[in-house]
Amino acid sequence: MTIKALARRGLTTAGAFLLAALIAVLPIVASGRAFAAGGADRTNVIAAGDGVLYSVQSDGDLAWYKHSGAANGAVTWAAGSGAVVSHGWDQFSQIVSGGNGVLYAISPNGDLHWYDHTGFANGAVTWAANSGVVVGHGWNVFTQVVSGGSGVLYAVSPNGDLHWYSHTGFANGAVTWTSNSGVVVSHGWDNFMSVIAGGDGILYGVNPNGDLQWYDHTGFANGAVTWTANSSAVVSHGWDQFVQVVDGGSGVLYAVSPNGDLHWYSHTGYANGAVTWASNSSAVVSHGWLA
C-alpha cells in the first residue's frame, strides 16, 4: 500500500525553520492512532536510516516504509511502503533502531531483544534466523533508551544519569558487550522531555520550553566522558508542539504533528552544532501518522 502524501510545505519566515517535537521514542503502547497499511492503526514510529521508517500498529504489526526523498525532503516514497514485515511488536515497551535493519526491543520484564531485518533496504519479509534473541536484562529501569549506531546505546536513568553501552555483538546478535558498558557519561538528562540520538555521538534534547539542544559525545566510540565544548547549544525553538520526533541520520529529523502530518527537517549544522537548516525544513512529506 502506498503512502498518501501532502504537497511539501515551506517555511513562512527564515526564523521559523522548525516547528516542534515532544517525544523521540514513544512506548509501543502510547496513545495516538493513525491510518496505516491494511487499515490498522499506527502507534509508534521508528527511524532506521536511509529513509526507512517502521511503524508499530495497534494490532502489533510492524509496517515498513521508505522515504526515497530523505536526502532533500522530496515527497517520494518507495512503492512497497506500508508493507507488513512482522507481527507481535505490541508486546514491547520500547523499540529503537540500531541501523541497517537492526532493532532492539525492550520487554516489560526488562529483557533486551535483538532483531535483524535483513529485508531492511527493500521491505522484504526476511529476518536473521536468531532474531528475537535476548542480549541483555534490566533495561526496564530506564526512562528512555536511544541508539547511537554501531551497537552503542544510551539509556537515561530516572535520576537523570546518561549511561553508555556498547553491544559489540550488534552485527550478529551475540551476547557480547564492552567491559565498561553502563558507564555514566553525563547527568541532568531528566530535564528533557525527550532525547533523540543522531548517530556518531550526536544527541538532541527537547526542553519543556520547546528549545532543541544539540550535544556531541566525542567519547561515543569508547564511553569516555568527553563532549565538545559547545554541547548543549540551542539550535532551534518550538519543538514542544510535535507529538513525536525521530532521527533519520545525517541531520535529518522527522516530526509528527498532532494532526498526523509527517514533517521533514535537515539540520545541516548537525556535525558541529551550527544553527543552520535546509531552507525547506518543515516540509510535509506524508500525513496520517497520528489521528
Instruction: Give the mean model confidence (pLDDT) for residues 5-26.
Output: 29
Q: 153-205 pLDDT, tens per residue?
A: 999 999 999 999 999 999 999 999 999 999 999 999 999 999 999 999 999 99
Let me know if residue 28 belongs to a domain. Answer: no
Consecutive H or E run containing 99: strand 94-99
The reported pLDDT for the residue numbered 1 is: 26
Percent of the chain at pLDDT above 70? 85
∠ CA 201-138-195, nearest 5°, is: 30
Nearest one of 92, 137, 97 to 115, comparing CA atoms:
97
Q: 42-91 pLDDT, tens per residue?
A: 448 999 999 999 999 889 999 999 999 999 999 999 999 999 999 999 99
The reported pLDDT for the residue numbered 19 is: 29
Domain that holds residue 200: 37-286
The reported pLDDT for the residue numbered 5 is: 28
User: DSSP labels for 211-262?
Assistant: -EEEEEBTTTTTT-S-B-TTTTEEEE--GGG-SEEEEEETTEEEEE-TTS-E
Residue 213 — very low, low, confident or very high, per pLDDT cuts 50/70/90?
A: very high
Evaluate whether 34 touches 260 at the Cβ level (below 8 Å).
yes
User: What's the CA gap between 204 and 186, in Å, rounded?
Assistant: 14
Let me know if residue 109 belongs to a domain. Answer: yes
Let me know if residue 209 belongs to a domain. Answer: yes
pLDDT(31) > 50: no
- Return the higher-pLDDT residue of 38 and 200: 200
Let me know if residue 96 belongs to a domain. Answer: yes
Sheet with 42-49: strands ordered across: 42-49, 52-57, 62-66, 83-86
The reported pLDDT for the residue numbered 44 is: 84
The reported pLDDT for the residue numbered 11 is: 29
Let me know if residue 139 belongs to a domain. Answer: yes
- Return the higher-pLDDT residue of 25 and 211: 211
What rounded mean pLDDT belongs to the chain?
Answer: 86
CATH value at residue 108: 2.115.10
Cell numbers that stand for 53 in this block: 521508517
Residue 275 — very low, low, confident or very high, per pLDDT cuts 50/70/90?
A: very high
∠ CA 255-198-69, nearest 5°, is: 55
pLDDT(12) > 80: no
Give one word for 240, left, alpha or beta, with left for phi > 0 and alpha for psi -120 to 50.
Answer: alpha
Let me know if residue 273 belongs to a domain. Answer: yes
Percent of the chain at pLDDT above 90? 81
pLDDT(242) > 80: yes
Let me know if residue 16 belongs to a domain. Answer: no
The reported pLDDT for the residue numbered 6 is: 25
pLDDT(29) > 90: no
- Return the higher-pLDDT residue of 105 and 14: 105
The reported pLDDT for the residue numbered 133 is: 98
Let me know if residue 5 belongs to a domain. Answer: no
What's the domain count of the chain? 1
